[in-house]
Amino acid sequence: METGQNQERRRNKATIVDVAKKAGVAISTVSHVLNHTAPISEETRKRVQQAILDLDYTPNMLARNLRQKYSNVIGVIVPDIENEFYANVASGIFRRADLEQDTVFLVDSGYSLEKEKMQVESLVKRQVDGLIFLGGSKDEELIDWAHKQNVAVVLGDRRYRNYCSVESDNFKAMRDLVLWVYGLGFRKIGYVSESLDMTNLQDRYNGLREGFHQCSLAIDEQWILNDSWLKLEKVDAAKSLMNQMVRRIKAENMPEIFLTSSDMIAIGIMDALIQNGYRVPEDISVVGFDDIRLVQYYNPPVTTIRQQCRKMGESCYQMLRGVLQGHIQDQHIVLETELICRQSVRL
């Protein structure tokens, strides 16, 4: 932004001084009627109110917050707002925050640590009271830094140290899923996931292993895909990766079912499978994760693990308020998931 220009902006905005002058009262009186911070005679209040209206005065929060040491603003950092899951969680935060008097500012880091750093610094420098980190990875230093700068932090869909957090029971979800498909008779089980650099992904993978273990199944590495590419362009990456796998593995050696860490990945896989002549679920079954809107309309509708996105957002916000008020710390909420049976699994 060009400075010369901007210095012109806001030049003629009315300040509290103007209001005081116009109303013929002291500055502090205006402040008091504004904040109901002292009893003011009906008569002067009226005059002040009128002056405010006349001048179209709007208090400058920067100045106010500079004094007050708190801003009633919280920041939310998401890796990718186009991802329906994050959009849903964010929505939960917004809806919940609307009920209070907080304002929440959302920023999108685009899965880039560098950008995230800029965003978080920007938020912290503007004295937000708290920060909610949704997803994200390898940014632990940043979280610690924010915390050291005295801003309250809450983690959503992830976990780190003893920062307050709320997440799904990823381990249990995936373990139980394995047990379920095992019960259905599946033995050749594949798994496709983003690289395991996020705790939630790691948990799911661990749950998977535990499930395998409980069923005395050995993991066949050739059926396991963990690719970091899957994080950014889930559908396309999954499609391409699955195409490779189909080329690499003969039909009789393919898994009977693919479990995944994300609905988008499941979609990509099914696209590839179908293109390669496999029928879903007759030849190969697929299970998603998240239950985003897309999967219920896919053909076939996708069996998936539903996360309580909205609830997650609401809990994050509630929790943040708790730590802000000082009566919560080191709390970790775990949300139950739910298996949604549709038609992508052969029963």
> In this chain, which of 46, 53, 60, 251 binds DNA, going by CB under 7 A?
60
Cα 212 to Cα 218: distance, rounded to the nearest angstrom: 7
Q: What Cα–Cα distance (Å) separates residue 81 from each residue in 132, 184, 217? A: 14, 36, 38
Beta-strand relationship, 130-134 and 189-194: unpaired
**Sequence letter at residue 133:** F
Q: Does position 88 bind a second copy by CB under 8 A?
A: yes
Cα 271 to Cα 294: distance, rounded to the nearest angstrom: 14
> In this chain, which of 27, 38, 70, 197 binds a second copy, going by CB under 8 A?
70
> In this chain, which of 26, 66, 184, 251 binds a second copy, going by CB under 8 A?
66
- The CB-of-213 to a second copy minimum distance in angstroms stands at 35
- Choose the binding region for a second copy from 2-10, 132-140, 173-181, 329-337 (rule: CB under 8 A): 2-10
> In this chain, which of 13, 95, 161, 332 binds DNA, going by CB under 7 A?
13
Give the helix/strand (H/E) hosting 313: helix 309-324
16 contacts which partner out of DNA, a second copy, none, CB within 5 to 8 A by kind? DNA
Per DSSP, helices labelled H in 126-262 are: 140-148, 170-183, 199-214, 229-232, 234-248
Cβ proximity of 319 and 152 under 8 Å: no
Q: Does position 69 bind a second copy by CB under 8 A?
A: yes
- What token pair was written down for 19? 């209001």
Cβ proximity of 259 and 173 under 8 Å: no
Q: Which of 3, 64, 228, 61 is closest to 137 using CA atoms? A: 228
Cα 300 to Cα 302: distance, rounded to the nearest angstrom: 6
> In this chain, which of 207, 321, 337, 345 binds a second copy, going by CB under 8 A?
321
Cβ proximity of 207 and 173 under 8 Å: yes
Contact string 104-143 vs a second copy (x = CB under 8 A) = xxxxx-x----x--xx-xxxxxxx-x--------------
Q: What Cα–Cα distance (Å) separates residue 158 from each residue in 46, 134, 140, 193? A: 51, 7, 11, 16
Give the footprint of a second copy on residues 255-284 (CB under 8 A): 267
Contact string 62-101 vs DNA (x = CB under 7 A) = -xx-xxx---------------------------------
Give the footprint of DNA on residues 15-44 (CB under 7 A): 15-17, 24-29, 31-32, 34-35, 37-41, 43-44
Contact string 141-180 vs a second copy (x = CB under 8 A) = -------xxxxx----------------------------
Give the footprint of DNA on residues 160-219 (CB under 7 A): none
Which residues here bind DNA, judged by CB under 7 A?
13, 15-17, 24-29, 31-32, 34-35, 37-41, 43-45, 57-60, 63-64, 66-68
